[in-house]
Structure 1
């Protein structure tokens, strides 16, 4: 009966030491007047999640030997049911911090350029922003639900910056002649990845085709970089210095391998050749029809599931379902019935109607 209290007394000094040490770890240090904050903009990469580039904040203080990069675009591939949670929009992203040299080394190895914009902030603004980053980093608030257009690595940094400055930022929206849609903004980034481009053009719904405001375009890292480059405060430029800190080797990104258009052309050419060889071309027509309706039916089931179950707003209200009907799967899998021809005619009419809609 006397051993338990003795053990507690023995552990008490260690508990007190941990209690006094932990706040010192979580409490941000006081920066010197020489501290600076920079926006780092990373060029697009080859991976799907890197096609649109990346944004991060660098906090440097030569007097303290501090040089950290804070990144809101971190996620864990080991998360259970990773791909399902990503499609549903329930994947947790979080804020992380790494040394500046480690950050640059990783992007140099990937061959991706990194540019830096040193922000002309006052010492108290630098301290306020750094304190918010450190406080968030050591709290559950570092986790958030990622939303591609509304809440990502770029929008979080812009919101953090605007909440930390003493005077509001003056953005120059005259740089954009006409308000583009989300789909138009994504098109140049998707060009090197035709299969991803096809999937996103099919998977993204009506919200993607709405015109964007100047603030809404800042979800893209390059758009945020250009906006800050022309931003001012009290008639003074917000960016004090801009430089490139990682210069990759010259490389031209171009689609490689089989593209969707190449697959379609190959299918048409092969069908024509088989048609010439077979004495009964009707069999070939039935086979192609089954393949076509099976593929479109599976895509329709996927789009319906995303529209009903995903938390991502851009995949909702998807008019592609007007021709990618889930019921197409019945025509592709079951044997031909009397209603098959009538259904095929209706499907072709729907497909032709949707094809006339704008997709830019």
Structure 2
């Protein structure tokens, strides 16, 4: 088995080499098949939601290619900045199934494939469009997590290529789930990513979805095809596991989870606030630290709202309590206007909590309750006695 980094490097290099060479249109035989390959979620942040690809096989011509819309180039200038802004270019690539399989085997990520019941002419249309896209600038696109990603593009390609209508039974899923609720089970294994992503998502992520909107998630698309029929026959003719899940030992979450860290911070803050006046320096340091962290988080969220092309990051009501101005208070000398500022911030915190946390957010992210409590306590102390320091005169 190849080491993990080497396997992914080999996959990337093979994609770069085979993509230009893959644009060789050919007439497929009637035995050719189109298969949806669904990759299970992995442990790395980029792999938490799984992945989808199309595998096209034609035994008579020795064809066994995997087409992947989830490829990007780490060498892109300002890679992380463009990723956060939503301006990172993804592209369609093609590689052999053997290379694709080796990379996921190194990751120990389960693979499942579904053979789709396409007619030979439909299979040919799928293959021709993929090959034509590979050889044109259309292979590049701007990735949008909810609306235009490696999975939604495969769904659209298949539905465009099918003659006649497909009957998709959507009764197996709950009605009206929000994007935030759909993401919750995938984020559970990565609690800090869950906190960050839920803070970064705004009001659009809280709108009820229709069934079609669920299909940005690879597992959801796989289940959708399994519940689809055409002329009263299943649209998936065969499902099989290509790579089984490894048996992993149970791992304790440890003390580094957001709930325990923020809970410990709340207890520490309460103890520091109750100390005699001669220990006010400790309370001041903790208080400024809390406001600085909250303010920096607010700056990041405000930046996503103003400059990101990711629509779900817009209209983020959490800016009502994650105020960027907290950073200014944290680094400035004591001022008279702090009491008025703290009063206004408490009011906005209450409104923001009622909009988000008090509605359904608490079930998805209960650890944020600790942070809200710490922040509210700091603002109340700031209103009463700024950072335990006797207020100075001046503006």
Task: Specify if TM > 0.5.
Answer: yes
CA apart distance, 1:269: 4.0
Residue 346 of structure 2: aligned partner: 348
Residue 262 of structure 2: aligned partner: 264
Instruction: Name which of 85, 90, 98 aligns with 2:87.
Output: 90
**1:16-31 alignment, distance < 5 Å:** 26-31=23-28
Q: Which moved more, 1:280-289 or 1:193-202?
A: 280-289
CA apart distance, 1:283: 2.8
Q: Distance in 2 between matches of 1:110 and 1:256?
A: 24
Residue 287 of structure 1: aligned partner: 285
Instruction: From the superposition, tell whether residues 214 and 331 of structure 1 become closer, same or farther in structure 2 (CA, over 3 Å).
Output: same
Q: Distance in 2 between matches of 1:327 and 1:249?
A: 48
Q: Distance in 2 between matches of 1:111 and 1:280?
A: 56
Instruction: Name which of 131, 134, 139 aligns with 1:134.
Output: 131
CA apart distance, 1:69: 0.5
Q: Distance in 1 between matches of 2:321 and 2:273?
A: 27
Instruction: Name which of 97, 108, 111 aligns with 2:108.
Output: 111
How many residues are treated as equivalent by the alignment? 338
- Runs of 5+ consecutive residues of structure 1 not aligned to the other structure: 1-22
**1:1-360 alignment, distance < 5 Å:** 26-251=23-248, 255=253, 258-271=256-269, 280-357=278-355, 358=359, 359=361
Residue 13 of structure 1: aligned partner: none
Q: Distance in 1 between matches of 2:252 and 2:165?
A: 41
Higher gyration radius (CA)? 1
CA apart distance, 1:293: 1.3
Q: Distance in 2 between matches of 1:50 and 1:215?
A: 22
Q: Distance in 2 between matches of 1:271 and 1:317?
A: 31
Residue 14 of structure 1: aligned partner: none
Task: Determine if contact 2:22/2:94 at 8 Å carries over to the other structure.
Answer: no
Q: Distance in 2 between matches of 1:229 and 1:68?
A: 23
Q: TM-score, normalised by structure 2?
A: 0.82
CA apart distance, 1:272: 5.4
2:114 partner SS: strand
- Deviation string 1:130-188 (CA, Å, 9 cap, x unpaired) is 01011111111100000000000110000000011111221111111322000000000
Task: Determine if contact 2:272/2:283 at 8 Å carries over to the other structure.
Answer: no
2:168 partner SS: coil
2:128 partner SS: helix
Q: Which moved more, 1:341-350 or 1:40-49?
A: 341-350
CA apart distance, 1:288: 2.1
Residue 384 of structure 2: aligned partner: none
Q: Distance in 2 between matches of 1:256 and 1:264?
A: 14
1:175 partner SS: coil
Task: Determine if contact 1:192/1:255 at 8 Å carries over to the other structure.
Answer: no
CA apart distance, 1:204: 0.4
1:324 partner SS: coil
Compute the RMSD of aligned alpha carbons: 1.9
- Runs of 5+ consecutive residues of structure 2 not aligned to the other structure: 1-19, 365-395
1:201 partner SS: helix
Q: TM-score, normalised by structure 1?
A: 0.89
CA apart distance, 1:62: 0.5
Q: Distance in 1 between matches of 2:88 and 2:174?
A: 36
Q: Distance in 2 between matches of 1:178 and 1:25?
A: 42
Task: Determine if contact 2:22/2:134 at 8 Å carries over to the other structure.
Answer: no
Q: Distance in 2 between matches of 1:226 and 1:181?
A: 18
Task: Determine if contact 1:205/1:318 at 8 Å carries over to the other structure.
Answer: yes
